Chains A and B, each alone.
Chain A
Amino acid sequence: MDLSYSPEEERFRAEVRQFLEQKLPAEMSEAMRLGRSIGKEGHDRWHAILNEQGWLAPNWPVQFGGCAWNAVQRHIFEEECCRAHAPRIVPFGLSMLAPVLQKFGSKAQQDHYLPRILSGEDWWCQGYSEPGAGSDLASLKTRAVREGDHYVVNGQKTWTTLGQYANWIFCLVRTDPDAKQQQGISFLLIDMDTPGIEVRPIILLDGTHEVNEIWFTDVKVPVENLVGEENKGWTYAKYLLTHERTNIAGVGFSRAGLEAVKRMARAQMHRGRPLIENPHFAARLAQAEIDLMAMATTNLRIISRAAAGQAPGVESSMLKVKGTEIRQEINDLARRAAGVYAMPFASEAVESGNEPGLGPEGSEAVAAQYFNNRKLSIFGGSNEIQKNIIAKVKLGGRA
């Protein structure tokens, strides 16, 4: 047992920290710290900065342009990025589609799509969920019928995150309606400019446009856009889901979130004293921090096993549940800390930094974040589904 990082790992951390100090634009970091939106331009800009450094795709094999970091290095990188309030890298192309293409895609698909993901030329979104197929994803109904050299796609996807920015979507579609549910599904790459595609915004409860409905009406997709084999899409999707669940613990986000709560609680006065000295508030804060300290170590235990080549099993489900519970608790603390200043609904002017905020620094975003982050326990496999997995494996002895 040794809880410390090795000297090489510490050197690596110093290198990452220096890079972030030099290259992360201050106004971007500030916007992220205050929970403001940086828009598509902001994401594109940060993407380009990381790409120039060669650090955009830590999870990719070197031959595709990855950086050959092990799991511990990737963790350090993520931790430092959160600490510096760097924007989150949009995962759909880099961390979800790319691993699938690298493992199951054709050479032509790899050569074409992977460089365009790195360069930022393509913005991908994930077309899995449908109105009737959420937790029960395998019940999806979007149909793809092969006609000569193309498929004709009809149906509807929903909850598509940042689909309004995307020029490509990877979709699960039903190609064999007669096969058993999981066996008739294929994995298709679809150009969003194809005629017959309509993107409709869904406004979330905090007023943000983050997700969309996507409608497909007789959309023609060339057969070379099929990934792997027809009717094997479920296998690829499950592979992708294991990648979606890396960094699921969100330790870095929680640490940054706790710091923000503490800053606010030092500035907020409660009965003439700083709120952070109030025993009730302090107890809540301490409990969240205690949980986070233990979870960070659980996360590291799993990461170091992964670095030694073991695939994570139910542990990633455990991290998803605990990690999201802690993040949501921190969001709850932030809204409590802001007091009456949690009530305003931040205007676009305040959000964009053009008008001064109302309450203590950062307070204008706390209520919106509290509500928005209820999604954490719903998407990426809901916490109930994760618990079903844990129970099934641990009680039933099989996955």
Chain B
Amino acid sequence: MNFELTEERQMLQDSLRRFLRDHQKALQASTLLGAGGEEGARGFDAEIWRKLSELGVIGALFSEADGGFGGQGFDLTTVFEELGRAGAVEPVLDTGVLCGSLIADLGNKDQRAFLADLIEGNLQLALAHGEANSRYDLAQVEALAKTSADAIVLSGRKAVVVNAEAADVLLVSAREDGASGAEEGISLFLVPRGTAGLSLRGYPLMAGGRAAEVDLDEVHLPLSARLGERGQAHEALLRARARSEVALAAETLGAMETAVDLTKEYLGTRQQFGRPIGTFQALQHRMAQMLIELEQARSAVINAAGHLESPSTAERDLQIAAARNLIGRAGRLIAEEAIQMHGGIAMTQEYELAHFAKRIIMADHRFGDTDTQLERFIDLSAA
């Protein structure tokens, strides 16, 4: 047993933490960037993105074979816990983990050339997979791909595609066989920004960053646009989701740490009735409960990260469902209690807690909410 980070990861954590602390102002400003809504809005700070890639943050998400220097579960959690603690909205999850994993897993030699650009910070990506009726189910795909001798034509609609407007290339899923709900028959395609027939309706997100509804109106692509084997994307989507969920769980853990820290500090400084409110036992016990839940969350993240490379995908997915269910519950408790124990000040946009509470709660709406994770856990443990 050893719960210490390796030396390399410890160094990455230290330098990333220092960098994020030094850029706190810019990070805070970028949480509101998405709200602008002007043409071509990115919803994050391109300068921070560039510096993160220089620090090696994106490289840490990939194995050496893919051009990086990490790529394992604990590399992801090291990076994302820090991003979460700082409340960063830069799309490291979407571009780096979610899309990066898919290209690394499925890409042919030409397509894998994107990885170098990605690691250097020169490429933005978005996964256009979910649809209006798919909720958190990866197999519910209605968008269609029709192939002729020399072209592929996509049609359909994609819902809440995070980072779509900033993406240089969209990874779009569409069905080539079978009915919606079937795992077989789903393919992925690389669709460059500006391709005819592709249109986006962008909007800001509650917790920062931006997303878009993506309309595919007879989008013509060359045959080379297909990523991976025809109709075989489901397995890779599951793996990319597993990696993204480990990252997201760690990010949420980081945000929970900050919410707890802010609350601890506030209980010590806020005076009412002539004394710090932290002297009221009614609040002390609740603070204690938050600290207990935080340690549970930390262990759940370790469990999930430690099983990310498990040879059994069922074991991997069970651990991840467990972690995200626990974090969903603990996160809600911590976000709500942190707000409540601050009183009115926590209700303001200006005070930083609000942003962390939003990061924690809105994470529950990605890849599967607390109940969906419970359902996955039950299915997997019964199997």
Residues of A whose CB lies within 8 Å of any CB of B are 129, 132, 134-136, 139, 158-159, 202-207, 268-272, 275, 278, 280-281, 284, 328, 332, 335-336, 338-345, 347, 358-359, 367-368, 370-372, 374-375, 377-379, 382-384, 387-388
Contact = CB atoms under 8 A, between A and B. Distances in A.
Nearest to B135: A339
Interface in B49-89: none
B85 to A, nearest CB: 19
Given A344-B204, A345-B203, A358-B203, A339 B136 contact: yes
A277 B205 CA distance: 29
Given A280-B375, A378-B343, A384 B203 contact: no
Interface of B: 34-35, 37, 130, 132-137, 140, 159-160, 162, 180-181, 203-207, 211, 213, 271-274, 280, 282-283, 332, 336, 339-340, 343-344, 346-350, 354, 357-358, 361-362, 364-366, 369-372, 374-375
Contact of A272 (B181, B273, B343, B357): B181
B180 to A, nearest CB: 8
B348 A205 contact: yes
Contacts of B280: 384
Nearest to A348: B37
A268 B135 CA distance: 8
A359 B160 CA distance: 9
B46 to A, nearest CB: 21
B31 to A, nearest CB: 11
A383 B340 contact: yes
A336 B369 contact: yes
Given A136-B274, A207-B35, A384-B283, 15 more contacts: A202-B350, A280-B375, A335-B361, A335-B365, A340-B130, A340-B135, A340-B365, A340-B366, A344-B205, A347-B37, A358-B160, A358-B203, A372-B347, A375-B344, A379-B344
B362 A203 contact: no
What are the 4 closest A-B residue pairs judged by CB atoms, nearest first?
Answer: A205-B354, A136-B272, A280-B371, A203-B349
B271 A367 contact: no
Contact of A202 (B207, B272, B348): B348
B183 to A, nearest CB: 13
A146 B140 CA distance: 72
20 contacts: A136-B274, A158-B344, A159-B344, A207-B35, A272-B137, A272-B181, A278-B371, A280-B371, A336-B364, A341-B159, A341-B160, A343-B160, A343-B205, A372-B347, A374-B340, A374-B346, A378-B343, A382-B343, A384-B280, A384-B282
Contacts of B272: 134-136, 139
B297 to A, nearest CB: 19
